[in-house]
Amino acid sequence: MVTPGQSEGMDNLRHVLLLLVQIANTISQDENTSCHEVLNDCDPGKLSWTRCYEGRINQCIRRPSPRRGDGLLLEFYQDEVDTNSDVEHTSGAGHFLHLPSEVLRRSTRTRGPPPSTTKMTVTVFNSSLFRAQVWPNETILGGMVLGVMVGKVAVKNLNQPVRMSFRHTNETGGRCVFYEESEDNNGTGRWSMEGCTVSRTNKTFNCSCDHLSFFAVLVNTDVFIDPVNAHSLSYITYIGCGLSLFFTALAIILNLYLRRKRSEQTMVVHLNLKVALSFLHLFFLLSAWWAGQVPGHGENGAVCQALALLLHYSLLATFTWMAIESFHLYLLLVRVFNIYIKRYLVKLGLVGWGVPMVIVIACALTRTYGGYSLQREENSGSSTGNATDICWIRNKTVSYITVSGYLGLVFLFSTLMLTVMVVKFRKVRGNSVRHQEKRRLWRDCVTVLGMACVLGVPWGLAFITYGPLPLPGLYLFTILNSLQGVFMFLWFLALTWQSCREKSSVGRDPSTQKMETSFKN
């Protein structure tokens, strides 16, 4: 007869035996699973698929040519390796891997003597498998992620790091990262630099990490600037903007003081352009100063958002008034007659200040303003990197459309108007006397350069910073445009002096007089 206590003990024994059988079946299933089936079994649609893959990939059966389904598994390599020797491997995708023997020994940690061999798996994945957010100006190098798994024990905090090389073409800035699953199970992981360092050569990014994981290189799609040149460009910008702010304000005061009724419309157009340019330099300096005073804390604050909006508005207003200046000079120099337009200045003011206002209001409704990192520099282990911060547009697409696209339209329009005016100018000058040719040529060059500066043509240098030689273009762009207020002030003084000097001269060239009058007033 079985007592109740004996019956309960037998039930517990059966549960234990059933659990052991299930564990044995699971192990047997893993050992009988083909390696090419592990990825599908772990369901890449789930957030935790990487843990499943790491736990099962070294227990599967290796096949000579595992399937590469749906383009997600780009390359697969698995082999038994000696735990007492360093291991090197080069993938067909151009990755070079160096594993120190410490990694191999620690991955087989057991109570008894460590085995002489262990299983190593190197896999190249399509980056679309990894649901992790990246910065708007970064992308995964080659769209590939390198997975490195050794043994059955997780390896981290290595004394001798794992070294990897990722081949690149023309990428300049990059960060070595690994995939880390989110602990709050929010559906996305993250790319982390913790425990990893990076160095760069002409053809490779060299990564060193103190653990094994899924590795990649995040490359900067923007122009990368080394710290020395970044600091130099920053100093040039701040000094140039400070000087331009001062001289633009001085030019506004002098223009108002020397105000004349003749060509008053032209003077008003000039004044609006100078006011917009002075606001641009002022809010740029304030935005950079505020972001530097509150790094990482005020990027979404009301002050930074307001400064970003005002900076964006000033920039668009400057571009708009440059286009208006081009249109106005075209009317003065080409269409000399029949140019009366009812409420001309009011209409120009609505366009010059109203169009930028509509754009920034639309951007503000999308909450696109805040702190922005102009440059994420390479470093030796920081998870964020050094940055040159400013209160600006956070959304890259909005910035491209409302700044680069808008500038492109203004640049094309201003260049077209400048070309038409220069052609018209040369036709009028065609009847000039030869012995004054050199003097006239010099004066013409100065006039055209002054027109180009006022019409914003140097802003077109922004587009050459994306070319094969971005750094010289950046220096030229920074110098010319940060000092634009200074150049406009010098141009104003030169024309005023020329007007006083030639006031009593007789037989002055009418084409030169017409050209300079449009700027003086």
Write the pLDDT tens digit of every residue in 348-366. Answer: 999 999 999 999 999 999 8
Residues 418 and 274 in one domain: yes
Residues 211 and 232 in one domain: no
Domain end among 204, 220, 236: 220
Given a contact cutoff of 8 angstroms between Cβ atoms, the answer to whether 242 and 285 are in contact is yes
- In angstroms, the first-to-last Cα distance of the chain is 119
Give the model's confidence band at 511: pLDDT under 50 very low, under 70 low, under 90 confident, else very high: very low
Q: Is residue 9 situated within a structural domain?
A: no
Domain end among 182, 204, 220: 220
Residues 324 and 370 in one domain: yes
Q: Is residue 183 situated within a structural domain?
A: yes
* pLDDT the model gives residue 421: 77
Residues 183 and 283 in one domain: no
Residue 12, CB-side half-sphere exposure with 13 Å CA sphere: 6
For residue 344, the domain's CATH number is 1.20.1070.10
Task: List phi, psi (to 5°) of 454.
Answer: -65, -35
Residues 231 and 184 in one domain: no
Give the model's confidence band at 155: pLDDT under 50 very low, under 70 low, under 90 confident, else very high: confident
Domain hosting residue 330, numbered range: 227-520
pLDDT in tens, 412-454: 998 888 888 778 777 766 655 444 555 565 566 666 666 777 7
Q: Is residue 21 situated within a structural domain?
A: no
Rounded to the nearest 5 degrees, what angle is found at the Cα of 114, between the Cα atoms of 31 and 151?
A: 40
Residue for token pair 């490779």: 204
Residue 18 has pLDDT above 60, yes or no: no
Task: List phi, psi (to 5°) of 408.
Answer: -60, -40
Token duo for residue 50: 């990487």
3-state DSSP assignment of residue 264: helix
Residue 521 has pLDDT above 50, yes or no: no
Give the model's confidence band at 40: pLDDT under 50 very low, under 70 low, under 90 confident, else very high: confident
Residues 262 and 405 in one domain: yes
Q: Is residue 447 situated within a structural domain?
A: yes
Residues 237 and 175 in one domain: no
Looking at residue 380, its amino acid is S
Q: Is residue 14 situated within a structural domain?
A: no
Domain count, the chain: 2
Q: Is residue 22 situated within a structural domain?
A: no
- Dihedral, CA of residue 497, residue 503, residue 504 and residue 506, to nearest 10: 110
Given a contact cutoff of 8 angstroms between Cβ atoms, the answer to whether 120 and 155 are in contact is no
Residue for token pair 């006397």: 433
Residues 179 and 287 in one domain: no
* pLDDT the model gives residue 360: 96
Residues 200 and 285 in one domain: no
Q: Is residue 3 situated within a structural domain?
A: no
Residues 147 and 249 in one domain: no
Residue 260 has pLDDT above 60, yes or no: no
This prediction has a pTM of: 0.62
Q: Is residue 479 situated within a structural domain?
A: yes
Residues 394 and 440 in one domain: yes
Given a contact cutoff of 8 angstroms between Cβ atoms, the answer to whether 313 and 360 are in contact is yes
Q: How confident is the model over 258-283, as a mean pLDDT?
A: 81
Q: How confident is the model over 328-356, as a mean pLDDT?
A: 82
Residues 86 and 142 in one domain: yes
DSSP 125-148: EEGGG--EE--TTEEEGGGEEEEE
CB atoms within 10 A of CB 398: 17
Question: Quick one: what percent of the chain has pLDDT higher than 70?
Answer: 69
Residue 501 has pLDDT above 70, yes or no: no
Residue 471 has pLDDT above 80, yes or no: no
* pLDDT the model gives residue 184: 57
- Which position has the higher pLDDT, 379 or 468? 468
What's the alpha-carbon Rg for the chain, to the nearest Å?
34
Domain end among 220, 254, 277: 220
* pLDDT the model gives residue 299: 52
3-state DSSP assignment of residue 296: coil
For residue 131, the domain's CATH number is 2.60.220.50
